């Protein structure tokens, strides 16, 4: 009995050394620093830290793939997807295809805290955000418009259309369905669309406070030149992010159209529940996707409830993620990617 009590107390001390913790995908260090700082402020919650950290990336247009003015769709418009998940009760708030509202993560928080719903989409989500006090404004910038015009000038190449006429590999739309299959390998088609860090990125963030309360969240402007109305993995629970106070959390980034078919964040968290380490859970999740899509590009960050963390990636050489932990300020860590 005495030995058991000692081991339990030692485990608590070990956990305290690693908590609180803030982690996020990619080398978005300033976003991590904001979250880590708020975690140490009296009266602030892990939800506050998550929202302000992600909002920092939205404001700074991290890599041009988060926030306004990036990843224009085929009509030249930027739309936003975002999600927050509460690991204590599995509640979530999310928005998808958000138009004319810059604060996607704040809108997701409003959905979480002021509705019984989980996901709002499109113009209706924008109307909701306005009711909550957010300002409607254009998400288009001179840079995003120039990107779209350049794409149009090059016959809308690359794009995400298949089996339509006119041939989407040669001309812009509008398109109509084509009964004859024109595209025989959708994986090759995805490679032509250059699914990579620069055009298909997301900030996924996990925050755990000293008491073990976990929040996970995401924000993205999606895939560049996407078909209007497309929604990726970021606002989908279990795909872009998943959190459970009993075991830990995970956030993913990469080719969302592929990832949402596998729910990699849920896979990783359930692997933790089965006793796997964060490293093994992350690797298992990515290998599940690579088994079916050998040329897939993506990554995942996984943390257990004690603050032990790792990441895994496929389709890149190295994957950076940002960590602020315990009393240590934010740093960037790198993981070598899995070779398939």
Contacts of 189 (CB under 8 A, 6+ apart): 160, 162, 183
- Which phi and psi (to 5°) does residue 24 adopt? -150, 155
Residue numbering of the annotated binding site for substrate: 230-233, 253-256
Out of 25, 79, 107, 202, the active site residue is 202
Cβ 208 vs Cβ 24: under 8 Å: no
What does the alpha-carbon distance between residue 321 and residue 26 come to, in Å, rounded to a whole number? 4
Q: Please report, in angstroms and rounded to a whole number, the separation of the first and last CA atoms in the chain.
A: 48
Residue numbering of the annotated binding site: 230-233, 253-256
What does the alpha-carbon distance between residue 174 and residue 167 come to, in Å, rounded to a whole number? 11
Pairing of the two strands 92-98 and 119-121: parallel
202 belongs to the catalytic site:
yes
- Which phi and psi (to 5°) does residue 138 adopt? -70, 140
Scored b (16 or more CB within 10 A) or e, 228-267 reads: eebbbbbbbbbbbbbbbbebbbbbbbbbbbbbbebbbbbb
Residues serving a catalytic function are 202
């Amino acid at each position: 009995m005495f030995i058991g009590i000692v081991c339990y107390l030692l485990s608590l001390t070990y956990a305290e050394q690693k908590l609180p913790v803030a982690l996020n995908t990619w080398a978005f260090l300033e976003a991590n620093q904001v979250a880590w700082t708020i975690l140490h402020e009296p009266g602030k919650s892990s939800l506050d830290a998550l929202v302000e950290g992600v909002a920092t990336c939205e404001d700074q247009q991290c890599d041009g793939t988060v926030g306004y003015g990036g990843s224009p769709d085929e009509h030249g418009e930027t739309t936003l997807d975002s999600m927050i998940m509460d690991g204590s009760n599995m509640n979530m708030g999310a928005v998808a295809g958000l138009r004319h509202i810059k604060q996607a993560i704040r809108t997701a928080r409003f959905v979480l805290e002021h509705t019984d719903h989980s996901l709002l989409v499109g113009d209706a989500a924008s109307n909701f955000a306005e009711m909550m006090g957010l300002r409607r404004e254009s998400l288009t910038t001179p840079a995003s418009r120039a990107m779209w015009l350049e794409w149009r000038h090059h016959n809308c190449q690359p794009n995400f259309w298949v089996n339509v006429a006119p041939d989407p590999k040669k001309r812009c739309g509008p398109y109509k369905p084509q009964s004859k299959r024109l595209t025989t390998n959708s994986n090759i088609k995805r490679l032509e669309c250059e699914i990579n860090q620069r055009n298909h990125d997301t900030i996924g963030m996990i925050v755990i406070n000293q008491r073990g309360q976990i929040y996970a969240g995401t924000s993205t402007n999606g895939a560049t030149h996407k078909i209007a109305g497309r929604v990726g993995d970021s606002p989908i629970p279990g795909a872009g992010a998943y959190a459970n106070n009993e075991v830990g959390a995970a956030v993913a980034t990469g080719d969302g159209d592929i990832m949402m078919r596998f729910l990699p964040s849920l896979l990783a968290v359930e692997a933790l529940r089965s006793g796997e380490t964060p490293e093994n859970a992350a690797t298992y999740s990515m290998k599940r996707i690579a088994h079916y899509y050998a040329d897939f590009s993506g990554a995942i960050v996984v943390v257990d409830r004690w603050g032990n963390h790792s990441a895994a990636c496929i389709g890149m050489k190295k994957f950076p993620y940002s960590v602020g932990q315990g009393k240590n300020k934010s740093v960037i860590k790198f993981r070598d990617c899995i070779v398939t």
